[in-house]
Structure 1
Amino acid sequence: MTAAWATSAAAHLEDDHVVVRPMTEADREGVRAVAMDPDIWRYFVSAVETDADFETFFAANLADQAAGRRAVFTIVDKASGAVAGSMSFGNLAEADRRLEIGWSWLGKDFRGKGVNHWAKQLLLRHAFETLEAERVEFKTDVLNLQARKGLANIGATEEGVLRSFNYMPGGRRRDAIFFSVLRAEWPAVAAHLARGPKKTVAHA
């Protein structure tokens, strides 16, 4: 690998189901169309409730992308051609070959339909096979049972809870639960993901 992760992490990825591509200004209205749903942000560290909130949120995505702090992706559902949501690479610790997949959300019409599964498969493959990561980690609110099931369903290993990890909107202190996939585990996880999503679990 010759390019730094801050540059090479942001790649155009796709399979038969989804396109996962770096977010740009051209995505603003497509993202807005699915983001104005309070249920998405229930367990996020920031909330999008108003147009002003959305503008702040979208500007932060583009700023993080431009600065190399995150690789922010727009997810497009191939069946409909519509923007389905977003996902990111972040906490890019290239020297330690470690990164996080997170900042993940989907519009209500795309939950429980495999979009999350296929998008995470693409990002995991890129992380291990192109970026040559040794560890890919995920974290979510310990109260977010749906996200925890989704991470278990893609083959990530639950590691534990970091108590009082950060503030949430409204002042609650979130306990964060971590999951990971390691390089040695990737072949088995890849084979598991290739079998497709579980149909009975939302976000799987």
Structure 2
Amino acid sequence: MEQLQNHIVTLKPMEIEDVEGIFTAACYKEIWTHMSIVVQSKEDIMNYVQDALRAKRAGSEFPFVIIDSTTNQIIGSTKLMDIHKNHKRGEIGFTWLTPSYWRTAVNTNCKYLLLTYCFEVLGWQRVQIKTDHENFRSQKAIERIGATKEGILRHHMIRKDGSTRHTVMYSITIEEWPGVKKHIEGLL
């Protein structure tokens, strides 16, 4: 996969050399509240990157670092994941941003670039996005871009603290994409 970019954000394929930049962006505990991993050290980031690159080699994920196009600094990460080429579908997920970029145009621009790539280059029929039932900020952001809420997968996962997570599932289909694309362009 290639680098995706516009004047706001660049999505660069993740590489092992990105560990330092990812660590700098990721060293805020509030990022990881609703995530399935614990990140407290550079070793945790190294494991995160190595796991992502293993999944990339296996063809099940494609991780990106999110770069602020004006500063050229890594400010987060996102993935295409749960990729099923035969079924022409996958998921945008495990997206996080350093807190100073929360509630900015960055996440919307990331989703726009990824969705355009998924539907218009890869030819996918479905892109799903899911989130923790308690992550209301994420749910609001997903709904804002025009994804359809499909429902809640009850008792879907066990969180890192051992509690039960219900997962809110959203999707965009190929038929919906032209309208969603126009909607997102209106937000940009």
TM-score per shorter chain, which class? over 0.9
Where do 1:169-188 residues align within 5 Å?
169-188=160-179
Deviations along 1:76-100, whole A, 9 cap, x unmatched?
0112221110110011111111110
Percent identical across equivalent pairs? 31
What secondary structure does 1:92 align onto? strand
2:34 pairs with 1:23: no
Using the alignment, how far apart are the partners of 1:27 and 1:68 within structure 2?
20
Write out per-residue CA displacement over residues 54-105 of structure 1, whole angstroms, 9 at most, x where no aligned residue: 2221221222222222000011011222111011001111111111000100
- What is the deviation of 1:50? 2.7
Bigger relative contact order, structure 1 or 2 (CA pairs below 8 A, ≥6 apart): 1
Per-residue deviation at 1:195?
Answer: 1.5
Q: List aligned pairs for 1:43-122, cutoff 5 A.
A: 43-122=34-113
The answer to whether the 8 A contact 2:27-2:40 is kept is: yes
Q: What's the Cα RMSD here?
A: 1.1
Number of aligned residue pairs: give it.
188
3-state SS of the aligned residue for 2:155? strand
Aligned partner of 2:2 in structure 1 is: 11
Partner of 1:190, secondary structure, is: helix
> In structure 2, what residue type is equivalent to 1:127?
C
User: TM (normalized to structure 2)?
Assistant: 0.96
SS at match of 2:71: coil
- The two structures have a TM-score, normalised by structure 1, of 0.89
C-alpha contact 2:19 2:45 (8 A) present in aligned 1: no
Task: Specify every segment of 5 or more residues in structure 2 that has no aligned partner in the other structure, as ranges.
Answer: none
Q: Which of 144, 158, 170 in structure 1 is aligned with 2:135?
A: 144
Q: Runs of 4 or more off by more than 6 Å in structure 1?
A: none
Structure-2 residue corresponding to 1:3: none
Aligned equivalents of 2:164, 2:2: Cα separation in 1:
34
1:163 is matched with 154
Instruction: Please give the secondary structure, in 1, of the residue aligned with 2:175.
Output: helix
Q: Distance in 1 between matches of 2:87 and 2:17?
A: 34
